Amino acid sequence: MSENNSFLVFSGTKTRYLAEKICASLGCPLGNLVMTRFSDGEFVVSYEQSIRGKDVYLVQSTFPNSDNLMELLLMIDAAKRASARQIIAVVPYFGWARQDRKDKPRVSIGAKLVADLLSVAGIDRLMTMDLHADQIQGFFNVPVDHLYASGVLLPYVQSLHLEDLVIASPDVGGSKRANTYAKYLGCPLVLCNKTRARANVVDTMQIIGDVKGKNVIIVDDMVDTAGTITKAADIMKEAGAKSVRAIASHCVMSGPATERVEASALEEMVFTDSIPYTARCSKVKQISVADMFAETIKRVLNNESISSQYLI
């Protein structure tokens, strides 16, 4: 790809680790962008090379804190004002996606607001992965390339060569995703039915299905405080599961998550590297999605189909 001079890849501050891997896969240098910060926390974005007439790919996950989203918005605005031909936001983790609807009176729909902010800032296309709710694609009036972490997580599951495999969903809401994995792998599906006392606090949980003597893999899209997934693992182990592992797309892992995973019945917790994980936990493993995003960028540049990238 290095001979193609029609595009440039830039990165925000906290997603540089992934942008560098994407550029290595593409065979191109990471673009030169400077983020100048003032003492009050305000910052300004400056491209240190010409981007006029180029397709500009801006790699930035919008995980907390809000600076990551603001960085991306300023990168988009600066690219638009510098006469970039097309601006493509590469957002491996799309933050605020849990606010996709009004689930009670007088609440915000944060996912729609973020979509509007990105659109008004000036993106021509969005590349993202495993949105918390698929309908968020419809919040945009530009093309959305919605990739799936199954492209890297499924090969890892298959590499374990586990017998008596069972796929589990930690809640009813994730049953569709887990069922897709179970069908692809040709194994049974188990569900966990949970009730919440409040946000991030699980009250009760029951297992629907048989896990006795089985190797269980819990599938989820993100792990935040790890309360649900560790409780599910502990209950399954108590119900006679031979082993319990978990795979999830996004490594939010906030608050007590690391300690909970370390102390749980989980043998391992596997994520993609859509969000950086800086804490230390012997059970956490990250698999890179850099090659998957790099291949998608190549195909978009060459006007090729990306559908063959989807395993499921």
Number of domains the chain is built from: 2
Question: Are 224 and 99 members of one domain?
Answer: no
205 and 258 inside one domain: yes
In a domain, 154, yes or no: yes
Question: In DSSP terms, which residues pair with 7 in a beta bridge?
Answer: 55
Collapsed DSSP state (helix, strand, coil) of residue 66? coil
Contact by Cβ (8 Å): 215, 242: yes
Residue 156: inside a domain, yes or no? yes
- Check residue 174 and give its pLDDT: 87
Q: Are residues 125 and 47 in the same domain?
A: yes
Check whether residue 65 and residue 81 sit in a common domain. Answer: yes
**Distance between CA atoms of 12 and 27, rounded to whole angstroms?**
19
207: containing domain: 148-286
Which three-class secondary structure state does DSSP give residue 190?
strand
Last-in-domain residue among 146, 162, 186: 146
Residue 175, in any domain of the structure: yes
Each residue's pLDDT, cut to its tens digit, for the chain (312 residues) gives: 444 579 999 999 999 999 999 999 999 999 999 999 999 999 999 999 999 999 999 999 999 889 999 999 999 999 999 999 999 999 999 999 999 999 889 999 999 999 999 999 999 999 999 999 999 999 999 999 999 999 999 999 999 999 999 999 998 888 999 999 999 999 999 998 877 666 656 567 889 999 999 999 999 999 999 998 999 999 999 999 999 999 999 999 999 999 999 999 999 999 999 999 999 999 999 999 999 999 999 999 999 999 888 877
CATH number at residue 121: 3.40.50.2020
Q: Are strands 43-47 and 201-208 parallel, antiparallel or unpaired?
A: unpaired
Question: What is the model's pTM?
Answer: 0.93
293 within a domain of the structure (yes/no): no
Query: How, if at all, do strands 43-47 and 33-37 pair?
Result: antiparallel
pLDDT of residue 1: 47
Residue 196: its pLDDT value, please? 62
114 with 164, same domain: the answer is no
Measured CA to CA, the distance from residue 181 to residue 168 in angstroms comes to: 9
Q: Is residue 232 assigned to a domain?
A: yes
CA–CA separation, 114 and 299 (whole Å)? 26
- Confidence at residue 3, expressed as pLDDT on a 0 to 100 scale: 47
Q: CA 83 to CA 54: how far, in whole Å?
A: 8
Could you list the active site residues? Answer: 194
Identify whether residues 89 and 161 lie together within a single domain: no
CA angle 299, 302, 307 (to 5 degrees): 30
Residue 124 and residue 216 share a domain: no
Give the separation between CA 227 and CA 92, rounded to whole angstroms.
Answer: 23
Residues 71 and 108 placed together within one structural domain of the fold? yes
72 and 186 co-located in one domain: no
pLDDT of amino acid 2: 42
Could you tell me if residue 302 is inside a domain?
no
Q: Is residue 297 part of a domain?
A: no
Q: Is residue 301 part of a domain?
A: no
Q: Are residues 185 and 251 in the same domain?
A: yes
The reply to whether 193 and 122 lie within a common domain is no
Residues 38 and 131 occupy one common structural domain? yes
